[in-house]
Amino acid sequence: MTFAALWRELEPFGRDQGTGGYRRYSWTPADAECRAWFTRQAENLGLTVEQDRNGNLWAWWGSRRSGAIVTGSHLDSVPDGGGYDGALGVVSALAAVEQLKARDFYPERAVAIAVFTEEEGARFRVACLGSRLITGAIEPASARGLRDDDGVTLAAAMTAAGRDPSLLGPDEDLLARIGAFVELHVEQGRALAPMGAAIGVAMSIWPHGRWRFDFAGRADHAGTARLADRNDPMLPYASTVLAARRLAGERGAVATFGKVIAEPGGANGVNSAVRSWLDARAADEETLAETAAAIRSAAADAAAEHGVTFEASRESYTPLVRFDEGLRDRITGVLGAAGITAPVLPTAAGHDAGFLAARVPTAMLFVRNPTGVSHSPAEHADLADCEAGVHALALVLEDLAGRP
Ligand code: GLV
Ligand code: MN
Ligand code: MN
């Protein structure tokens, strides 16, 4: 099937009719539909699909036990995410393998397409959970105990989906099979469009953390409680949001409160608690740590001012990633020889490639996003650029897997 035909088939799964955004959360029916679709497509291409102990899918072309060239991405989404984040890498991988098969390419090294679980951390709050587990970047016991907003643990969600969570953990046998990993991804941000380039290559990923900020006060009546008598957790929360913006801006970092839950959340009541999540990123780990500490301290001061208690905990952390320079140069060389100028870019978006990079030579290809908008139904890439991405990925796989 062509890229466009594959895209059309995957498009409806997990899409909210009202917003047009995707709600593909791990171990839900939408996730199961995506997994079943991928498995079908990979098997149609003659690949052998396996699920690893951490719930990631691997579609193998060739059975060699080491040196495999792996591509792929993820199929889960943020709440009301765009269609391209993750899915573009998976669909492009299928289309690239199809192109290689159509031209009778013989892979000297095995080629595999990986689909990683819970890359966004949208359900269980830890980003890149599947790749973190494989590489030992999270303890299996802590992963099993992660809870979604309804209190369902990852272990329970996996069991309900027919998986055995006791198997979770580092997968050295699988890692030993991988010679290189190349993830294709829609560009997040807008660097390629002004350069007139359809394809980019990743240089590094900014370090990234998520913190939970809990403010607890006292529920009260919105009409009768005198302002001076209130312990309203919404007030320190609100000033923390503004402080985060200022403190990050001063340091060239970014900080976002993208999720907030007010409890009990009545329109005519002062809340008893506000639970919120800070996402902060910076070009280096020191700046990130300093930014997060400054925001925490601003939150503690604001809470004290309003007679509210404050607690913070870090839920997810990803260190700075620098991709393998040798692999990157080889890829830009292969693309250059085919007349494709691919600028080398840093990114502030997280990726499974970041975790794989700690263990195997890893690279990323970006496909131009004309507006730069991502994690939004407005995320977009033109079909011609997606096709250019498939072409570039096929060239890279051909080069990497074509030699023993
Ligand atoms: C994932 O896309 C992230 O950067 O949070
Ligand atoms: Mn994303
Ligand atoms: Mn992604």
Question: pLDDT tens, 315-356?
Answer: 999 999 999 999 999 999 999 999 999 999 999 999 999 999
Q: Is the pLDDT of residue 57 over 90?
A: yes
Average pLDDT over residues 219-230: 98
- Whole-number Å distance, alpha carbon 286 to ligand 1 midpoint, is 20
Confidence of residue 73 (pLDDT cuts 50, 70, 90): very high
Please choose from 76, 78, 288 the residue to mutate so as to test ligand 1's pocket, defined by most ligand atoms within 8 A of CB: 78
Residue 321 CB–ligand 1 contact under 6 Å = no
Ligand nearest to the CA of 87: 3
Any long-range contacts for 254-260 (C-beta under 8 Å, 24+ apart)?
254/280, 254/281, 254/282, 254/348, 255/279, 255/280, 255/281, 255/291, 255/292, 255/295, 256/280, 257/213
Q: What is the pTM of this model?
A: 0.95
Q: What is the dihedral of CA 330, 326, 65, 100, to 10 degrees?
A: -10
Residue 120 CB–ligand 1 contact under 6 Å = yes
Average pLDDT over residues 196-208: 97
CA distance 50 to 55: 9
Q: pLDDT value at position 120?
A: 97
Q: pLDDT value at position 64?
A: 78
Residue 170 CB–ligand 1 contact under 6 Å = no
Q: pLDDT value at position 403?
A: 84
Q: pLDDT value at position 326?
A: 98
Residue 98 CB–ligand 1 contact under 6 Å = no
Residue 95 CB–ligand 1 contact under 6 Å = no
- Whole-number Å distance, alpha carbon 121 to ligand 3 midpoint, is 11
What tens digit of pLDDT does each residue of 3-41 get? 999 999 999 999 999 999 999 999 999 999 999 999 999
Residue 127 CB–ligand 1 contact under 6 Å = yes
Q: Is the pLDDT of residue 404 over 90?
A: no
Q: Is the pLDDT of residue 236 over 90?
A: yes
CA 368 from centre of chain: 18
What is the residue with the minimal CA distance to atom 5 of ligand 1? 350
Q: What is the dihedral of CA 140, 142, 145, 148, to 10 degrees?
A: -110
Return mean pLDDT, the chain.
97
CA distance 295 to 246: 9
Residue 100 CB–ligand 1 contact under 6 Å = no
Cβ contacts of 118 within 8 Å, gap of 6 or more: 26, 74, 76, 124, 126, 128, 129, 130
Q: Is the pLDDT of residue 63 over 90?
A: no
Ligand nearest to the CA of 347: 1
Q: Is the pLDDT of residue 88 over 90?
A: yes
Cβ contacts of 291 within 8 Å, gap of 6 or more: 247, 248, 251, 253, 255, 280, 282
Residue 78 CB–ligand 1 contact under 6 Å = no
Q: Which of 44-53, 61-70, 112-121, 149-158 has the lowest mean pLDDT?
A: 61-70
